[in-house]
Homo-oligomer: A and B are copies of this chain.
Amino acid sequence: MIVEVIAVGTELLLGQIINSNAAVIGARLADEGFDAHFQVTVGDNLERLTGVIRTAVERADAVILTGGIGPTQDDLTREALSAVTGRPIVRDAEHAESIRERLTRIRGYVAESTLRMADHPQGAETMPNRNGVALGIAMEHRGVWLFAMPGVPAEMTAMLDEQVLPRLRIASGEPAILRSRVLRTWGQGESQIAEALDDLYTSTNPSVAFLVSGAEVRVRISAKARDTSAAETMIAKVDDEVVRRLGPAVFGRDDDTVEAIVVRELADRGWRIGTVEASTLGAVAATLAAADPDRGAFAGGITVPSIAVDDNTDLAARATGLLQRGRSTLDSEVLVVVSEARGDQVGPRSTQTLVVAVATPEGTRTRVVGLLGDRARVREYAHDTALHLVRLAVTGSWWSD
């Protein structure tokens, strides 16, 4: 099934907004196995918009439009769909009334033009907008599906996942429901994980894919089924199998973050954490502080200039010195130290040796890691590594060195 994406809005042509919607839709279509040949961006101009929809109808099996369904006079997607399909614009009286009530309640008034967001070509289905007011539109014309969605990314994404993609799946003879779960892993390399899950990648439903993000490898399991519970059952089976093979490398699912886990584990033990960072520029402290708005597990952090390091040989001594510095300044049961070896900082892309030390009431652990990559990537990797080593030290699961 060939799907064409049309982004509507003069602000896109003027470069005032980057067309991230096109990338999101493109990635979702690719995940589902639909083909995309063209993406077109067009301004708020009825004639040109009508033209690009006509062209898309000639060469695609489905057309996804984003933008141009808001309340203002330059929102012209409804009119263009009406012109292409020859169906007059009608108003959904019930939705118009609900817009009137809702906006009057929130703002105290409603402009008459706002009610245009309840308009659609006669005979079209409307699609609910969970994060906004404008209704989406779904209609068939000469055997081609036409979908109109809002341009606001949060509104668009929800409508794409919940309304458009299920309809496309049904139109292409697939089960309507796709569910995904991400298993977050740390501590095994990309190639180790790929090898351990080798045979699982060949399955198409449920499908297994992986993605490297900082120091984490994420395993995504996706299942298509007739209903959500059948899809969840299929996912759970693969989830169990992945955990059986990867063991404690799997530390969380979906939105679980290592920093949220660390804060929770600290709070459960009544411990507080302090940080001393010489290579991550305070990023570990910033992450912990942001993840802990009210549990009081973050005691404070120290950022030390890298230039203060005079030798790069005795990393253990360096870590011990920084731990002592943290102890004398920060009032916490747990301390984490991140430092690189100074001499390694050569060139934009180079090897860096990193030392991470974590002290808890149960003892102090130190690990030395070699990293390769540009400065930003090394910093992200060091940040993730430090948080994971804290997680292992706090939960008592640091493996033997």
* A interface residues (Cβ-Cβ under 8 A, vs B): 12-20, 22-30, 36-43, 45, 48, 52, 275, 281-283, 285-286, 289-290, 292-294, 296, 298-308, 329
Contacts and interface: CB of A to CB of B under 8 A. Distances in A.
23 contacts: A14-B30, A17-B23, A19-B23, A19-B39, A22-B41, A36-B43, A38-B48, A38-B52, A39-B40, A281-B285, A281-B290, A282-B286, A283-B286, A285-B303, A286-B286, A292-B305, A293-B306, A294-B307, A296-B305, A296-B307, A301-B302, A301-B303, A302-B302
A303 B24 CA distance: 36
A37 B30 contact: no
A299 B306 CA distance: 10
A18 B20 contact: yes
Number of copies of chain A assembled together: 2
Contacts of A13: 26, 30, 36-39
A30 B300 CA distance: 47
Nearest to A19: B19
B37 A45 contact: yes
A44 B62 CA distance: 21
Contacts of A306: 289, 293
B298 A300 contact: no
Contacts of A26: 12-15
What are the 3 tightest A-B residue pairs by CB atom distance, in nearest-first order?
A: A282-B282, A15-B27, A15-B26
Contacts of A300: 302-305, 308
